[in-house]
Structure 1
Amino acid sequence: MTTLFRKGLIATVLAGTTALPAMAEEISWIYCGDTVDPVHTKAIEDWQAANEGWTVAVDLVGWGQCQDKATTLAAAGSPVAMAYVGSRTLKEFALNELIVPVPMTDEEKAAYYPHIVDTVTFEGTQWGVPIAFSTKALYWNKDLFKEAGLDPEVPPKTWAEEIEFAKIIKEKTGKAGYGLPAKTFDNTMHQFLHWVYTNNGTVIDADGNVTIDSPQVLAALQAYKDITPWSVEGATAYEQNEIRAIFLDGQVGMIQAAVGAAFRLEDTKINWGVADLPLGPDAKGKGTLLITDSLAIFSGSGVEDKAIEFAKYITSPAIQEAYEGGGAAGLTPLRPGPAVDAMVAGAPYWKPFIDGIEFGGPEPLFTDYKGFQNAMIEMVQSVVTGAAEPQAALTKAAAQLEEYK
């Protein structure tokens, strides 16, 4: 057994294994989840009917294992044609020559909301097709606002107001003013990046330069320190979904969460509202972290071109709109259009999740995304627990990220 190490990617390959290319008439797809979405089932049937002799073989794999399975098969020389992956892994896959580029025309790029294509772009080349998208907004408990003497209809618009409101809620009601997740979990990094992108900050630029040690990101980390005393106690024990559960129980004044929280809140007695994420002092406009999952086309399957064709078909506007509005409820739409306008008109709480896209930023692409993620989590936790001051924590993280770019 031979173990290969390159740019942080670890792939285990059985010695002597001979790569077996997929049959020319089959596109194998590692599909994450417990079931295949009905929208995709119908789309696959339609595509096969229009492409005589071709079939799409779906391999349904649980969320916790699907990306690892795709990686292992590719590194062993027996890749699937296509797999659902987190877009943040694309740079690592590309540098290890495990996937092929997925060129997009200017027209295709323009159809998406701003910056969506950036989440799959490395050195000017697209390496995947976005299929799922998430943004965040601020939720507030109007009853707790009222109990604390705050106007229940006026959420904070700036970080300074958010910190002040959290303080007032904690002092007046005894309940947490803000839900800050800082567990050793990926969304601890994601939650912090929302603050980075609501202050015009960046982590790494288009040329691969680490830019995290900046006044904008330092201000975000300082804000984390300032809001911690008024947040949930023991923030390092909580991840995002656990914070959301506390909010749904009426025990915290404000959280930032995806639109799925709104669906759950509709079935509670909580008097709630949703608004744009509060802005930092250097913000240029409404912002949020733009997280996408993508379809990656693996090298060596023998059907790369046809897989690209299928990937673009299965994420085409009509199919994607049905997917986002049906079984994948809770996803932010990837593209603007009349269907999105109708959705916002019917459920106005959708608006902040759309509006934040304009000045949002993509999940940073690193060659070792797990190393990047762990460095970010360590930075956040050290500030939240008081083990380090913001500037020292930021400088340390910046040095670590140099190793992972």
Structure 2
Amino acid sequence: MAATGVAGAAGMTALSGCAGGPGSGEVTLKLVAADYGNPGADNSSKIYWRELADRFTKKNPDIRIDVTVHSWNDIGKKLTDMVDSGNPPDIAQVDSYADWAAEGKLYKVSELLPIPAQADFLVSLAEAGEVRRVQYGLPFVASTRVLFYNKDLFKKAGLDPDKPPESWQEIKSAARALKAAGVKIPYGLPLGPEEAQGESLMWMLGNGGAYVDSVGNYTINSPENIETFQWLRDNLVGPGYTEPGPQRVNRQQLFEAFTKGEVGILNGHPTLMQQADKKHLSYGTGKLPGSKGPAEGTLGVADWMMAFRKHGHREACGKFLEFVFQEKNHYAFTSQYGLLPVTTSASRRMRKDEDQKKLWPFLDQLAGAEFYPVGKVSWADTSAVIKKTVGKAAMKDGDPKGVLTSLQRKAEAEEKAAPS
């Protein structure tokens, strides 16, 4: 997990003077963040941010942090409304940034952080934070995906509980055996609107496909991707090895069914591991299966922090963000919520922490994971359409080529309409 040096204005530090920053009077930074816990509960992210803000202000008395935390269901709209009304927060933590970067509303990372702090971010994540080769998004936390399977259900079906399926054919054979043993959902395939874009990409990667090519052009309807959905339709959905109508089924529904012992196999992230442990479920994990064997890569997902230019608090924002990503502070958040660090220093710390041993397989995959093309300004709208539509390609009577070609055309249209 090598760190990265950031190009562009990398010679610039965040510690030069600016209007409205420390030294020109007291500054109050408005921070809007997403809640990774349960609102009102003792694991709410609000508790973390308030404690962190208090410690920061003690060290920097002229900078106060006004924290607002919203649920993931609400934060996207609330933040968009703030930006559209001309009153964005100084700092936001959410799941996308490219639209605002393209509109010139965000500070470059090189304008915020000193070079050592920039260099601590993992390479793949720093690059995923770029729009047109300039980094605007600061990765906040990350996760990768692995295959989960229920060991007790494997035993019931006469399958080896210590051998996860490694290829699509092995997935099909295991699902057939699980169905014959009376398992309610042999393979959980969440292609509903919650995260259909993620489940789809995991399967695409197993067949050498992806949403974009190496230079960022959309490849949604590539031969590899069409073949992937044809296989899903004909080998899992058609024979009844998945839940009925996977295009309507969301990820969290299947996570909950898995922890109840109703699902034999599905793809999941660290949160599923936490949920399964609470239910004392006997489960195993493995690499994502591919068409010929274990997939070479896996899906990586990151959430982002960004600083808005509107109020001119560049120096204060930079100081606070540098504090957020200090090893102790960053690791405290990731370890609390079972997520992966985005910096080299915190990743090394997790690697040495025996209490986080179950996260090590996810951590091992992070440097080589495939991320959504979040740096494309057109991705947010394209992803929204994929979530609503792509599941139709795997329906029993679905038309993978037609569905994926329609998505390709819409993606290309969004790309042409994006700000240049």
Instruction: Give TM class, smaller chain.
Output: 0.7 to 0.9
Match of 1:184 among 181, 187, 193: 193
Match of 2:145 among 136, 146, 151: 136
Once the two structures are TM-superposed, the CA of residue 331 in structure 1 deviates from its matched residue by: 1.3
Equivalent position of 1:168 in the other structure: 177
1:254 pairs with 2:265: yes
Write the distance in 1 (CA, Å) between the matches of 2:293 and 2:218: 19
Question: In the TM superposition, what whole-angstrom CA distance separates every residue of 1:87-126 from its partner, at most 9, and x where no partner exists?
Answer: xx32211122232222267754553344112321111111
Equivalent position of 1:6 in the other structure: none
Equivalent position of 1:204 in the other structure: 212
1:267 pairs with 2:278: yes
Alignment: residue pair count: 378
Write the distance in 1 (CA, Å) between the matches of 2:54 and 2:282: 44
Equivalent position of 1:31 in the other structure: 33
SS of structure 1 residue aligned to 2:181: helix
Letter in 2 for 1:92: D
User: Structure 2 vs 1, CA of residues 110 and 284 (structure 1 numbering), >3 Å: closer, same or farther?
Assistant: farther
Letter in 2 for 1:294: W
Letter in 2 for 1:359: G
Answer yes or no: is the 8 Å Cα contact 2:289–2:295 preserved in 1: no
**TM-score normalised by structure 2 residue count:** 0.81
Answer yes or no: is the 8 Å Cα contact 1:101–1:127 preserved in 2: yes
User: Structure 2 vs 1, CA of residues 267 and 47 (structure 1 numbering), >3 Å: closer, same or farther?
Assistant: closer
Once the two structures are TM-superposed, the CA of residue 289 in structure 1 deviates from its matched residue by: 1.7
Letter in 2 for 1:100: Y
User: Structure 2 vs 1, CA of residues 109 and 298 (structure 1 numbering), >3 Å: closer, same or farther?
Assistant: closer
Write the distance in 1 (CA, Å) between the matches of 2:60 and 2:412: 46
User: Structure 2 vs 1, CA of residues 184 and 36 (structure 1 numbering), >3 Å: closer, same or farther?
Assistant: closer
Answer yes or no: is the 8 Å Cα contact 1:324–1:333 preserved in 2: yes
Match of 1:332 among 340, 360, 363: 340
Gap runs ≥5 in structure 2: 1-19, 416-420
Write the distance in 2 (CA, Å) between the matches of 1:132 and 1:151: 35
SS of structure 1 residue aligned to 2:78: helix
SS of structure 2 residue aligned to 1:397: helix
SS of structure 2 residue aligned to 1:180: coil
User: Structure 2 vs 1, CA of residues 283 and 179 (structure 1 numbering), >3 Å: closer, same or farther?
Assistant: closer
User: Structure 2 vs 1, CA of residues 355 and 279 (structure 1 numbering), >3 Å: closer, same or farther?
Assistant: farther
Equivalent position of 2:99 in the other structure: 92
User: Structure 2 vs 1, CA of residues 118 and 160 (structure 1 numbering), >3 Å: closer, same or farther?
Assistant: farther
Match of 1:55 among 64, 88, 112: 64
Once the two structures are TM-superposed, the CA of residue 277 in structure 1 deviates from its matched residue by: 1.8
Write the distance in 1 (CA, Å) between the matches of 2:311 and 2:294: 45
Write the distance in 2 (CA, Å) between the matches of 1:73 and 1:37: 19
The percentage of aligned residue pairs carrying the same residue is: 21
Once the two structures are TM-superposed, the CA of residue 389 in structure 1 deviates from its matched residue by: 2.6
Write the distance in 1 (CA, Å) between the matches of 2:265 and 2:59: 50
Once the two structures are TM-superposed, the CA of residue 355 in structure 1 deviates from its matched residue by: 2.6
Write the distance in 2 (CA, Å) between the matches of 1:77 and 1:269: 49
Equivalent position of 2:15 in the other structure: none
**TM-score normalised by structure 1 residue count:** 0.84
Match of 1:300 among 290, 310, 315: 310
Once the two structures are TM-superposed, the CA of residue 140 in structure 1 deviates from its matched residue by: 0.5
User: Structure 2 vs 1, CA of residues 199 and 132 (structure 1 numbering), >3 Å: closer, same or farther?
Assistant: same
Equivalent position of 1:217 in the other structure: 225
Answer yes or no: is the 8 Å Cα contact 2:247–2:392 preserved in 1: no
Answer yes or no: is the 8 Å Cα contact 1:67–1:83 preserved in 2: no
Question: In the TM superposition, what whole-angstrom CA distance separates every residue of 1:47-82 from its partner, at most 9, and x where no partner exists?
Answer: 212223111111233332223222222222222111
User: Structure 2 vs 1, CA of residues 193 and 105 (structure 1 numbering), >3 Å: closer, same or farther?
Assistant: farther
Gap runs ≥5 in structure 1: 1-20
1:227 pairs with 2:236: yes
Write the distance in 2 (CA, Å) between the matches of 1:41 and 1:196: 41
Q: CA RMSD in A?
A: 2.6
1:65 pairs with 2:74: yes
Letter in 2 for 1:364: P
Write the distance in 1 (CA, Å) between the matches of 2:170 and 2:294: 15
Once the two structures are TM-superposed, the CA of residue 248 in structure 1 deviates from its matched residue by: 1.2
Letter in 1 for 2:175: A
SS of structure 1 residue aligned to 2:403: helix
Write the distance in 1 (CA, Å) between the matches of 2:294 and 2:284: 23
Letter in 2 for 1:44: A
User: Structure 2 vs 1, CA of residues 93 and 252 (structure 1 numbering), >3 Å: closer, same or farther?
Assistant: same
SS of structure 2 residue aligned to 1:230: coil
Once the two structures are TM-superposed, the CA of residue 370 in structure 1 deviates from its matched residue by: 4.6
